[in-house]
Structure 1
Amino acid sequence: MSVLIKNGHVIYGESFEVVKADVLIEGNRIVKVAKEINEPADTVIDAKGKVVSPGFINLHTHSPMGLFRGLADDLPLMDWLQNHIWPREAKLTREYTKAGAYLGALEMIKTGTTTFLDMYFFMDAVAEVVAESGLRGYLSYGMIDLGDPEKTEKEIKEALRTMEFIEKLNSERVHFVFGPHAPYTCSIALLKEVRKLANEHGKLITIHVSETMAEIGQITERYGKSPVVLLDEVGFLGNDVIIAHGVWLDSRDIQILARNGVTVAHNPASNMKLASGVMPLQRLLNAGVNVGLGTDGAASNNNLDMLDEMKLAALLHKVHNLDPTVADAKTVFRMATLNGAKALRLKAGVIKEGYLADIVIVDFNRPHLRPINNVISHLVYSASGNDVETTIVDGKILMLDREVLTLDEEKILDEAEKTIEKLA
């Protein structure tokens, strides 16, 4: 299978240089980026007046939570979780979760996300959806034991069962990740066992860390130290760990993250909506920490639109630091593409020969994206997911001219409505 994208403004290489060129894809790789490629291809796409961009990598989400979009807005995190989200999640079945996963996958394809890192329940069902949708998914079962040794054993068993299920799918696009929920919901025993298992099986780990002041207070009271120091002291951290949020980090925490090569997934929309705080982006970047971008779940965002997320990230840190030079467009674009790929050890996030063909085409033939003075700036500050016209993952076209080819859009929307009625 080959695809030739012609006449586009191509964001090329690690420096994101914008060039007028064609892009040739063969199999799942980009094989050539050059002017006027005339080689035959199975599919030819004319990208005149359009931008050919690396696909976006959503480094932290809970994809089935689109079902809860708009159900418990404008509340503090713990009230939102304990009194609204967790009681509804207790009613979830595999079938309901799968309906939510379909909705999430559809939204991501339509808004230009090509890869996502997920944490939720019934992850075998989510894995089936990812395989069918054509997306690239890194999937973790969210482990919570609340210090109960029986529960610890049960959660580890479920994680290993999920890993086995995903590995049997034998897909290069669907991967298992260990996902202990957070230091305040997981025992030290569980965290140590996860570290051991990740080493044994060569898997990545993702975990919520330092999201709110309440969490910092809870961990400090329980252990006498910050969540990051705690994780470091129990030998949990490494360059295979992706922490979500990292809002409340002091200088020592940042040093520890840098030393261990940990990636931080920044979730500005969710952090603002739940009033969790503002993560120290500039200090993390200055320390050399790899920072990616995530949307969090659609229940606390309320969408999975990475273009939206880039704008929020850029604006939040400028106003917070009273400095318009902070979180410039290229830095934020890098967080949403290359930095995410680096965290997932994925040869993607860049349009360049030899890289995975995970590409989106954004229609710039629109008033809010003209004149084309600065492509990266327009993507960060002016575009939205609705401007994405074509989504390609692993060399396969998932959406062409806004039509999703791998999923039944009407059926998914209908199923989501029916499911939330049953969960009421």
Structure 2
Amino acid sequence: MANTIAIKNATILTMTEESWIERGYVVIEGNRIRAVGQGDFQPGQPVGREIDAAGKVLLPGLVNTHGHAAMVLLRGYADDLPLMEWLETKCWPIEDRMTADDVYWGAQLAILEMLKSGTTCFTDMYYFMDEVARAAADSGIRAVLSRGMVGFPPKDEILLQESREFVKKWHGAANGRITTLLGPHAPYTCPPDYLKKVISLSEELDQPLQIHLSETAGEVERCMAEHGCTPIQLMEKLGLFERPTLAAHCVHVTDEDIEIMARRGVHVAHNPDSNLKLGSGIAPVVKMLAKGITVGLGTDGAASNNNLDMFEEMRQAAMIHKGAGLDPVAVPAYKALQMATNGGAKAVFLEDTLGTIQPGALADLILVDFDRPYYYPRHNVISHLVYAGQSGDVTDVIIDGQVVVENGRVLTLDEERIYREVERVCKRLFA
């Protein structure tokens, strides 16, 4: 069968339980997993392609739950600054000059980086989102996209309409690989009356929301001064949490905030590297997990990271909470890997089985070359991936049943052209 792929002789992390198959096989039919087994692959019927994964680990693709893809164009431009100074004096002036073409090539560069490092799905909030969606559709990656909204004149109403049009055009596009959210930026850029309009639009379009919340202490202090409550409490009062919500960062949240988030089913995108680099702090993820909150991992934009490496986010998430809480078991390796795979997929409102390897699940998979010195001795495959794994070890990527990266080469993008176009774009932007 031409649309069937069999991967054999792999060590398989199914992410349905904290164990692995030492040597097994996975059969993909169309865009879904048909079979998973241990031992030799015995085809009961012809397959279109066999991949020998001896010496490699097969696991679900990584899900990046928060980012601004085209901000790769600002990578290294404005480092070592506080968040608001970084945004207001460096990022926003350059972004005001960006064109649709700039955003398209920035998104292409970001997707290239993500595919080569094992990310099979990313979430984005930005502008010129038609271009980001087009780049995602062309590349074969899975994407959860929103047009970022700022609720001040003269563009506040225009952005609501652009978001409505974007959802109607792109939700479910590219064989379902592209889904959409609504993206009000943050409480300090979207006043309460504007957020109420966004909530109404979410109800009208039946779309979830993503928003930055409680990223810095200064943001919380400002919200307390203006509204007499924290950003989380303000969203509760406005009714935003009556809609499915993905909240990015949530660094400075109180125990009461966490209770609200747990009660309302708010999902969290945890961005450990970005929060550390910007000096924002460490989100109390251990408390969130203890309350049953769905937490995924994200890189944020490459301007504040400075890469889109989800292996690094996994390791950081597993390490910083141990150190911050003086607790060596705070976030175990399996939990960090789960937040980067199935937990991430759930956080961005995708199918419950995405990010696992089991019959019926969407076939978003990656192969990691385990023939590296830091993967020996083979005591624990999961620990090795989280604590020692490197994104450069990813050799092959399959998304929606299609081979997108083969032996480290991205099949769907022109890598050299992307580099040339990005240099051209940046020569003008930063002249």
TM-score band, normalised by the shorter chain? over 0.9
Instruction: Report if the CA contact (8 A) 2:27-2:36 is conserved.
Output: yes
Q: What's the CA shift for 1:157?
A: 1.3
The corresponding residue for 2:151 is: 145
The corresponding residue for 2:278 is: 274
Q: What's the CA shift for 1:167?
A: 4.1
**Separation in structure 2 between the aligned mates of residue 275 and residue 395 of structure 1, nearest angstrom:** 40
Residues 1-80 of structure 1 aligned to structure 2 (within 5 Å): 1-19=3-21, 20-34=23-37, 35-39=39-43, 40-80=46-86
Residues 6-405 of structure 1 aligned to structure 2 (within 5 Å): 6-19=8-21, 20-34=23-37, 35-39=39-43, 40-146=46-152, 148=153, 150-167=154-171, 169=173, 171-238=175-242, 240-343=244-347, 344-346=349-351, 347-405=353-411
TM-score (norm 2): 0.96
**Separation in structure 1 between the aligned mates of residue 15 and residue 108 of structure 2, nearest angstrom:** 32
Instruction: Report if the CA contact (8 A) 1:238-1:262 is conserved.
Output: no
2:318 aligned partner, one-letter code: A
**Separation in structure 1 between the aligned mates of residue 121 and residue 174 of structure 2, nearest angstrom:** 17
Q: 3-state SS of the aligned residue for 1:53?
A: strand
CA displacement, residues 16-37 of structure 1 (integer Å, 9 cap, x when unaligned): 4200210100000001011322
**Separation in structure 1 between the aligned mates of residue 172 and residue 408 of structure 2, nearest angstrom:** 32
CA displacement, residues 388-413 of structure 1 (integer Å, 9 cap, x when unaligned): 00011000010010011111111111
Q: 3-state SS of the aligned residue for 2:240?
A: coil
Q: 3-state SS of the aligned residue for 2:280?
A: coil
Instruction: Report if the CA contact (8 A) 1:238-1:261 is conserved.
Output: no
2:79 aligned partner, one-letter code: D
Q: How many pairs does the alignment contain?
A: 422
Q: What's the CA shift for 1:371?
A: 2.2
Cα 1:421–1:178 shift into 2, 3 Å:
same
2:36 aligned partner, one-letter code: V
Instruction: Report if the CA contact (8 A) 1:131-1:171 is conserved.
Output: no
Question: Over aligned residue pairs, what C-alpha RMSD do you find?
Answer: 1.3
**Separation in structure 1 between the aligned mates of residue 424 and residue 338 of structure 2, nearest angstrom:** 39
1:272 aligned partner, one-letter code: L
Q: 3-state SS of the aligned residue for 2:20?
A: strand
Q: 3-state SS of the aligned residue for 2:356?
A: coil
Instruction: Report if the CA contact (8 A) 2:172-2:178 is conserved.
Output: no
Percentage identity across paired residues of the two chains: 44
Q: What's the CA shift for 1:170?
A: 5.6
**Separation in structure 2 between the aligned mates of residue 355 and residue 168 of structure 1, nearest angstrom:** 17
Instruction: Report if the CA contact (8 A) 1:105-1:135 is conserved.
Output: yes
**Separation in structure 1 between the aligned mates of residue 358 and residue 48 of structure 2, nearest angstrom:** 20
Instruction: Report if the CA contact (8 A) 1:53-1:360 is conserved.
Output: yes
Q: What's the CA shift for 1:190?
A: 1.9
Q: What's the CA shift for 1:99?
A: 0.6
Instruction: Report if the CA contact (8 A) 1:58-1:115 is conserved.
Output: yes
Q: What's the CA shift for 1:191?
A: 1.2
Q: What's the CA shift for 1:169?
A: 4.3
1:153 aligned partner, one-letter code: E
2:64 aligned partner, one-letter code: N
Please say if 1:410 is aligned against 2:412. Answer: no
**Which stretches in structure 1 are left out of the alignment for 5+ residues?**
none
